[in-house]
Amino acid sequence: MTFEELNIIPPILKALAQENYTSPTPIQEQAIPPVLAGRDLLGCAQTGTGKTAAFAVPILQLLSKGQGSKPGKRPIRSLILTPTRELAIQIQDNLEAYGRHTSLRSCVIFGGVSQKPQEAALKQGVDILVATPGRLIDLMNQGFIDLQHLQIFVLDEADRMLDMGFIHDVKRIVAKIPSKKQTLLFSATMPPEIAQMVKTILVNPVKVEITPVSSTVDKINQSLYFVDKENKQKQLIHLLEDKSIASVLVFTRTKHGADRVVRDLSRAGISAQAIHGNKSQNARQSALGNFKSGATRVLVATDIAARGIDIDELSHVINFNLPNIPETYVHRIGRTGRAGLSGTAISFCDIEEKPYLKDIEKVIGKTIPVVTDHPYPMMITTKPAEPVVKSRQPSRPSRNKPGSAQPKQAKPASKPAGSSGGKAGSPSRPSANRAKVRGKS
């Protein structure tokens, strides 16, 4: 399946190609067509599945098609409500990236920072508003936001909204937006309150569920090495001294991490190549070709880059970093042991990854056997004060304060928020490499 086959319009196709998205993820494949057809959607999927593009791409497409040249301030036609500042910024980044060749404008608002730049951005007029609930209500109450012309409403991470005590704010917002609109609701889990909300706000929704297959896990020979972060490279090289490991797929958390592993393995005389989003399509194809032909023994990949890889007879997967989403672990190791072959999955776990291990073992329903006899046993057994690996779960603010401001973890931004429109104030997103969505009001 390609994005062309999903009938994505050329300006967005061009932007997706620039992002190095070669094919849609399963949730994109399933969600984009019904959303483009105007249907309500219930998406059961976690962050990391490509869910943002699953709603952002069709929204950009629908809105750019319906974009009139009416004079006056452009109305907000889509609202994306998300629980945390981090998610809001990430969604805005993605909208800017995917919409860079359209003339749509988007803007992000969240609490914990001055509202002035946000007011200024809103005054310029935006097509798509990304918001956290508390700040949205504040600005609505002050008359800066008019949602009368809303056509598409996205409720992102609904279950987390509930966890964080925002459900009443969400209900207040829903009560103020037009009842005739298209609604897309995403939630990784379906607690009763959310199931109830689904019934009341979605009309005949298409349900898209991205569930991991955990049954394959049982066939795979799993093992775990507790090893300090600093020693992971050495541990990997040590394991690869075993020549019976003919070809192995190594997963790292980041693109830089993947490059680093390749460099160190190459220095140790082990042929390795990386595939990740920063590599060109040609470079990725060639790395994959070399791996399949056996010319390269080790392929190092990030999760998304590995997604499209079709390798049938993979015997070994090594998790250089444990993923923070347990289902990702299941997907990774599920790449071995296919078609009746035996598979081996080896994982390295440092002190900061121990909480992930707990989550993984809960999901797979068993304890991964630990290898204790190895040259680099874990020496660091207390967590550093500032963990380098960010946990996905935010700290829980008080549930007793519906209507209160933003989540506790939404610390003041180093810079104020802004819109992506050319004149609408200076944007504040951390990823300055994104092109801006340009547009005229």
> How many Å apart are CA 383 and CA 266, to the nearest integer?
31
Instruction: Examine residue 53 and tell whether it contacts ligand AMP (CB under 6 A).
Output: yes
Cα–Cα distance, 418 to 118 (Å, whole number): 5
* Three-class DSSP category at 183: strand
Backbone angles phi, psi at 116, to 5 degrees: -55, -55
Q: Which of 159, 167, 181, 92 has its CA nearest to residue 134?
A: 167
Q: Give whichever of 174 and 304 is closer to ligand AMP, judged by the CB atom.
A: 304
Terminal alpha carbon distance of the chain: 36
**Window 166-195: residues binding ligand AMP (CB under 6 A):** none
Q: Choose the binding region for ligand AMP from 49-57, 201-209, 227-235, 239-247 (rule: CB under 6 A).
A: 49-57
State which residue, 8 or 224, has the beta carbon closest to ligand AMP. 8
Query: Where does 106-254 have alpha helices with state H?
Result: 116-124, 133-141, 158-163, 167-176, 192-201, 232-239
**Residue 253 or 260 having the CB closest to ligand AMP:** 253
What is the closest distance, in whole angstroms, from the C-beta atom of residue 42 to ligand AMP in the complex?
17
The DSSP bridge partners found for residue 186 are 43
Phi/psi for 352 (5° steps) reads: -75, -20
Cβ-based nearer residue to ligand AMP, 21 or 110: 21
With CB under 6 A as the contact rule, the residue among 11, 43, 50, 125 that binds ligand AMP is: 50
20-39 residues in contact with ligand AMP (CB under 6 A) are 21, 24-25, 28
Give whichever of 25 and 324 is closer to ligand AMP, judged by the CB atom: 25
Out of 47, 118, 132, 321, the only residue in the binding site for ligand AMP (CB under 6 A) is 47
Residue type at 121 in one-letter notation: A
Q: Rounded to whole angstroms, how far apart are CA atoms 131 and 88?
A: 6
The minimum distance between CB 23 and ligand AMP, in angstroms, equals 6
* Region near ligand AMP per CB under 6 A, out of 48-56, 109-117, 232-240, 390-398: 48-56
> How many other C-beta atoms can be found within 10 angstroms of the C-beta atom of residue 394?
18
* Per-residue binding letters, 283-312, with ligand AMP (x by CB under 6 A): ---------------------x--------
Count of residues that interact with ligand AMP, criterion CB under 6 A: 12
Residue 153: what residue type?
F
User: Exactly one of 30, 49, 252, 296 binds ligand AMP (CB under 6 A); which one?
Assistant: 49
